[in-house]
Structure 1
């Protein structure tokens, strides 16, 4: 039975406990579009059936599906769903949950939270399908405070212990970096599925706790169930890439291959990224060549890998090849190829690609693209040109990162006056970044201006701007160890 058929055949009393139907599921099952839903709605109005609870629940689900359909591009679809909800004399929890789920997956997840608050005041009690969508919206927004409020509300409602809600809570705290809270929830869960494990492993990996991510991956392997899937492998490979742990990455690759979860595009892309960032660029290229169906993310991973391994000309050639294959680059792909140009000193190629962004592909350069170009020009010694680019950028005057890039280039070239100009702009926008002060003191010291260097360091002490300790990471015997250098 299709999702749409089960919805239409449900009795009025069943709607309060019926699962909210995913919009993509309805589209897949029935190919419903906004125009067709409007026709159905009109027919229900004419026949006097539009006010029945079954019709209203069905209409809300169909309008939500139309809103999510990539083919319709009509923002009014959700407005119709909200209109049906607002005009219902007795809106159901199903209607509320369906709208919350659709809004949580939309480009405006905050709308899901606002809508729920309004529906809550309308005395529609939540059920175990309500909070997962709300917590997903909070995770997408990194809205920890609102997520904690939802957590408290789920406790008061007696729904916090359900698997769906617990999974959403683990994901919320992991995404927001509150991994101690996420782990506490994880350890307290009597039942876990693969979503639970993946959420915490991904959280550890995303926030730089690579060893914790890999330890949890090992624990999952030893557990009787569930089995790791492709999403688990991607998170584990990301942890290896972040730590530069090639041996562990090869171990995860071997596991993925043994259990036949290494053929999907996401895992292949993660493998390319891991091998490239661990310095095994030839292995990354081998996997890339063996991947028959490549998407933009896969191409970008390989271009980035070539860039970080000093293969600038190859990265530019691969970028041009990608365009010839009909893959349209996005802003991330341009960051990768411009970074490759910067590290290889390919000024003319960099300028060509930067110009192509807007003239050929209709993309407006963002701060990171200007940063790549400032770095490229600075490394080539064209500091005045880099300064002009900062001043011509839409937000250059207020972007500390661009001035910081110019400061670094000026330091490398021993250009004290340009460094002073960059430092003055940084101090205006972001005055307490310790690295800038240290770099400026070094500029003066290299130029033999010891009094100015001492003055800068004295100002750091007065303003209590501390230098962050350095940290190194090594892999020994299948484990990751970090070493930190303490500073005064």
Structure 2
């Protein structure tokens, strides 16, 4: 009964496909073109349908297709379903959907192919509304949907992230017994994953009797999209164990999951698999691997991949520029840009985002301003909100808050949360409370349900000792049922990842970890380290603040890394939030007294601590 109601809902709430008025291509039988065609055949006779199908297959543009359509109409064989379907398919392929639907509507007989081509044409052309309406017409006329039509409809639900309609289509799939079809089930898995309902996607995936490489790839990508890249990599291992052979698309998906996860050991294993199985490093796979190594903390390996690639495009160059930007190596990013221009590759909008980001995170203010000016004047690249966000961030980090605000207010494109977040972050660094309140007000108007904005403003109040305002922000979050995103740090040891939270004591070696922290604290104090209690954003005694600082998740992860790895081994950690200033100073001192490299990937960028200094130059 529920399934029947689902179909009724689809039909009742939407009408037939709607189009503006247009002239059907069949009307060309009365045009000059058709009359010319008729004049060329003094004694018209019925032509075999195969001749018209051959003519359609050789048609290279819409003008030729319309000529053949006119001949079909004149010769009286438009009622031949095979010819009509082929003509319909050609219109859809060329995205001439008005003519396609006019032909479709006039067809006396339609079969599953007709409906599939029409629905698929709308969806592939991005006309999802008419795609849905045509599908509802199909349901209403009693024609059973097939494994060609349904994936197109499900794809439309995915692209629109319309979970409500997606579930209704899922009901129709169940009613018609098509859940066992790999194409349909893979489309549903993809739809649920893109709509971030990963548990439903996984349940469908696990219940599939047979999984092809497309389905495995969709599921691996789905976990990565839902910020569960570790599960993506577990699934890849399972896929190999079950004998499935990945293709290039799968490997690109796995490489992207590695980039999101940031696990160097896993990245090396994936790279080894690619090498052993002789996957060609084309532009797509090579560019993905550049991004993977950069986001796993090794820009030098990213450069090695780049140098080995035989073919590179603007995306490849942009990815390498971004790689140096993540790691604060701005001058090298500018050198790569010059090399790109020398090779004859012109920059695009993404290139300039990578370039401006690199300038921002390396303190190259003048260079950033120059490139921002050159974008339109020299390369005809119009700035969008992402470019303005980079510039606001660049100026804000340099302490030029008035200039940053002036640029934000003068921009012609619509402002988004990223831009105001960049300005608010700069206010936190430089303690500008008035401007912080203005930026926060704009942020909360755009995203009132994002707890991060409340927390950031609350932290700025706390740094200024405005504890009443801190309490107000926390009360506001409580009333709106918003919770602060907890900070976590991950460390990879022997191909296994360990997670730490603040004051975490769940690890089996917690006693040893805290003993290591205590030992470190004495050595660090002798080396000159003084805990910066300004980063404890609670109104408590100074001694309590010091104790709270020593239990930050990144410190626990570093202490565990010192215990679990041999001397001289680099320690790599990943944090879901921005690293705090005190942990940044702590890491510099630890790298000096232990003679270890510490690589920290936080929410903004990478920090490489070596011999008491950081790659960011304390500018982050």
Q: 2:432 aligns with which of 408, 415, 418?
A: 415
2:250 maps to 1:220: no
Distance change >3 Å, CA 450–CA 167, structure 1 → 2:
closer
Partner in structure 1 of residue 64 of structure 2: 36
Q: CA deviation at 1:133?
A: 1.8
Taking the aligned partners of 1:344 and 1:291, their CA distance within structure 2 comes to 27
Q: CA deviation at 1:299?
A: 2.1
Q: 1:370 aligns with which of 388, 396, 411?
A: 388
2:141 maps to 1:113: no
Q: CA deviation at 1:343?
A: 0.7
Taking the aligned partners of 1:428 and 1:65, their CA distance within structure 2 comes to 43
Structure 1 stretch displaced more, 441-450 or 114-123: 441-450
Query: Gaps (5+ residues) in structure 1?
Result: 1-7, 13-25, 68-76
Q: Is the 8 A contact 1:32 1:65 kept in 2?
A: no
Taking the aligned partners of 2:160 and 2:447, their CA distance within structure 1 comes to 25
Partner in structure 1 of residue 491 of structure 2: 474
SS at match of 1:480: strand
Q: 1:233 aligns with which of 251, 260, 263?
A: 251
Quote the RMSD (CA, aligned, Å): 2.7
Q: 2:115 aligns with which of 77, 96, 101?
A: 96
Q: CA deviation at 1:405?
A: 1.6
Partner in structure 1 of residue 511 of structure 2: none
2:327 maps to 1:309: yes
Q: Is the 8 A contact 1:210 1:239 kept in 2?
A: yes
Partner in structure 2 of residue 435 of structure 1: 452
Count residues with an aligned counterpart: 455
Q: 1:133 aligns with which of 146, 149, 152?
A: 152
Write out per-residue CA displacement over residues 90-130 of structure 1, whole angstroms, 9 at most, x where no aligned residue: 12221221222233222334442232223333443312221
Partner in structure 2 of residue 4 of structure 1: none
Q: Is the 8 A contact 2:282 2:309 kept in 1?
A: no
Q: CA deviation at 1:48?
A: 1.9
The higher radius of gyration belongs to 2
Distance change >3 Å, CA 446–CA 484, structure 1 → 2:
closer
Partner in structure 2 of residue 52 of structure 1: 80
Taking the aligned partners of 1:452 and 1:164, their CA distance within structure 2 comes to 55
SS at match of 1:475: strand
SS at match of 1:158: coil
SS at match of 1:220: helix
Taking the aligned partners of 1:149 and 1:353, their CA distance within structure 2 comes to 50
SS at match of 1:50: coil
Write out per-residue CA displacement over residues 168-217 of structure 1, whole angstroms, 9 at most, x where no aligned residue: 11221122222211111111111111111111111112212122111111
Normalising by structure 2, what TM-score? 0.68
Write out per-residue CA displacement over residues 16-50 of structure 1, whole angstroms, 9 at most, x where no aligned residue: xxxxxxxxxx99x7463212111211221222222
Query: Gaps (5+ residues) in structure 2?
Result: 1-48, 505-537, 539-620
Distance change >3 Å, CA 292–CA 109, structure 1 → 2:
farther
Structure 1 stretch displaced more, 233-242 or 314-323: 314-323
By percentage of residues, which structure has more helix? 1
Q: Is the 8 A contact 1:243 1:480 kept in 2?
A: no
Distance change >3 Å, CA 249–CA 111, structure 1 → 2:
farther
Write out per-residue CA displacement over residues 145-171 of structure 1, whole angstroms, 9 at most, x where no aligned residue: 222111111111222211211111122
Taking the aligned partners of 1:354 and 1:402, their CA distance within structure 2 comes to 16
Taking the aligned partners of 1:158 and 1:450, their CA distance within structure 2 comes to 62
Taking the aligned partners of 2:503 and 2:104, their CA distance within structure 1 comes to 60
Taking the aligned partners of 1:392 and 1:165, their CA distance within structure 2 comes to 49
Write out per-residue CA displacement over residues 428-452 of structure 1, whole angstroms, 9 at most, x where no aligned residue: 4444543333333433443455555
2:312 maps to 1:289: no
Taking the aligned partners of 1:130 and 1:195, their CA distance within structure 2 comes to 18
Distance change >3 Å, CA 374–CA 61, structure 1 → 2:
same
Partner in structure 1 of residue 97 of structure 2: 78
Taking the aligned partners of 1:274 and 1:157, their CA distance within structure 2 comes to 42
Q: Is the 8 A contact 2:282 2:311 kept in 1?
A: no
Distance change >3 Å, CA 131–CA 428, structure 1 → 2:
closer
Q: CA deviation at 1:334?
A: 2.5
Taking the aligned partners of 1:432 and 1:130, their CA distance within structure 2 comes to 38
Partner in structure 1 of residue 416 of structure 2: 399
Q: Is the 8 A contact 2:259 2:291 kept in 1?
A: yes
Partner in structure 1 of residue 179 of structure 2: 160
Q: 2:376 aligns with which of 358, 366, 370?
A: 358
Distance change >3 Å, CA 473–CA 155, structure 1 → 2:
same
Taking the aligned partners of 2:480 and 2:214, their CA distance within structure 1 comes to 47
